[in-house]
Chain A
Amino acid sequence: MNGKPNPRTWNRLPGRGGRLARVLVAAGSIATVLSMSAAHASAASGTITLTETSYYTSSSSGPIYGYLTTLFNNFEKSHPGIVIKREDIPNSPQYLTTVAAEASAGTLPSVLMLDNPMVPTLASYDVLTPLSTLGPTAIPTLGAAQQAESKFNGTIYGYPLYTNTIALFYNKAILSAANIQPPTTWAQLLTDAKALTNSQHYGIAFSGENCSGCNVWTFIPFLLSNGGSLTRLTTPQSVQALTLWAELAKEGAIDKDFTTWNQGPPEAAFAAGKAAMMINGPWFFGTLNSVKGLNWGVVEIPVNTPGQDVVGPIGGEVWTIPKSNPATEKAAFELLNYMAQPSVDAALGTSTGDIPTVRAALPLWSKTASPLYQPFLDELKHGFVRTSTLGVLYPRVESAIGNGIVSAVIGKQTPAAAFSTAQSNVNSILEGN
Chain B
Amino acid sequence: MSTQLPGDEQPTAQAMWSVRAEVGADEVPTTARPAGYGGRNLVPRSTGGTHGARPVRPATTLHWLRSHRKQAVLLAFVLPAVVYIIIFFAYPLVYGFKMSVEKLGFIAGNGPFIGLHNYKVEISDPVTRTALMNTAIFLVVSVVFQFSIGLGIASYFNRRFFLARFLRSLIIVPWLFPPIASATIFSIMFAGQGGIIDEMLRSLHLISSPIFWFDSSFKAMFVIIIVNIWIGIPFNAVLLYSGLQDIPGDLREAAALDGAGPWERFRYVTLPLLRPVALIVIMLGIIYTVKTFDTVVLLTNGGPDNGSQLMSTWAYNLAFTNFQTGQGAAVGDMLFIFCMIVAFFYIRATRREVVMG
A interface with B by C-beta (< 8 Å): 15-17, 19-20, 22-24, 93, 96-97, 100, 103-104, 121-122, 124-125, 127, 202, 209-212, 255-257, 259-260, 269, 274, 392, 395-396, 399, 403, 406-407, 410-412, 433
Contacts and interface: CB of A to CB of B under 8 A. Distances in A.
A252 B1 CA distance: 71
Contacts of B215: 256-257, 259, 410-411
B4 interface: no
B303 A260 contact: yes
Interface majority SS (helix, strand, loop, mixed), chain A: helix
Contacts of B105: 121, 124-125, 392
A212 B32 CA distance: 69
B216 interface: yes
B148 interface: no
A211 B297 contact: no
A255 B193 CA distance: 7
Contacts of A16: 184, 187-188, 298-299
Nearest to A20: B184
Interface string B296-324: 01111101111100000000010011111
Given A23-B297, A406-B303, A257 B214 contact: yes
Contacts of A411: 215
18 contacts: A15-B188, A16-B299, A20-B180, A23-B297, A97-B320, A100-B323, A125-B106, A209-B301, A211-B301, A212-B321, A256-B212, A259-B215, A274-B194, A395-B321, A396-B324, A406-B303, A410-B216, A410-B304
B107 A104 contact: yes
Given A399-B321, A399-B322, A259 B304 contact: yes
Lowest 3 CB-CB distances: which A-B pairs, in order?
A256-B212, A104-B109, A407-B305
Interface string B172-211: 0000000010001001100111100000000000000000
A259 B213 CA distance: 11
Contacts of A20: 180, 184, 298
Given A16-B298, A259-B215, A412-B216, A406 B320 contact: no
A396 B322 contact: yes
A100 B108 contact: yes
B253 interface: no
Interface residues of B, number: 36
Given A16-B184, A20-B184, A257-B193, 5 more contacts: A209-B303, A212-B321, A259-B215, A392-B105, A412-B216
Nearest to B214: A260
Q: Give the interface centre of B297, B299, B304, B324 by most chain A CB atoms within 10 Å.
A: B304
Contact of B301 (A103, A255, A256, A260): A260
A23 B301 CA distance: 11
B11 to A, nearest CB: 44
B191 A210 contact: no
B23 interface: no
Contacts of B193: 202, 255, 257, 269, 274
Contacts of B214: 256-257, 259-260
B137 interface: no
Contact of B304 (A96, A211, A407): A407
B180 A15 contact: no
A412 B106 contact: no
Given A100-B108, A410-B216, A19 B297 contact: yes
Contact of A93 (B191, B192, B216, B320): B320
B121 interface: yes
B126 to A, nearest CB: 10
A179 to B, nearest CB: 25
A181 to B, nearest CB: 26
B321 A121 contact: no
Contacts of A255: 192-193
Contacts of B303: 209-210, 259-260, 406
B264 interface: no
Given A15-B188, A125-B106, A257-B193, A406 B297 contact: no
A137 B299 CA distance: 46
Interface string B215-253: 110000000000000000000000000000000000000
B306 A403 contact: yes
Contacts of A17: 184
B294 interface: yes
Interface in B260-295: 294
Contacts of A269: 193
Q: Give the interface centre of B297, B303, B317 by most chain A CB atoms within 10 Å.
A: B303
A260 B188 contact: no
B13 to A, nearest CB: 37
Contacts of B106: 96, 100, 103, 121-122, 125
Contacts of B121: 433
A242 B183 CA distance: 31
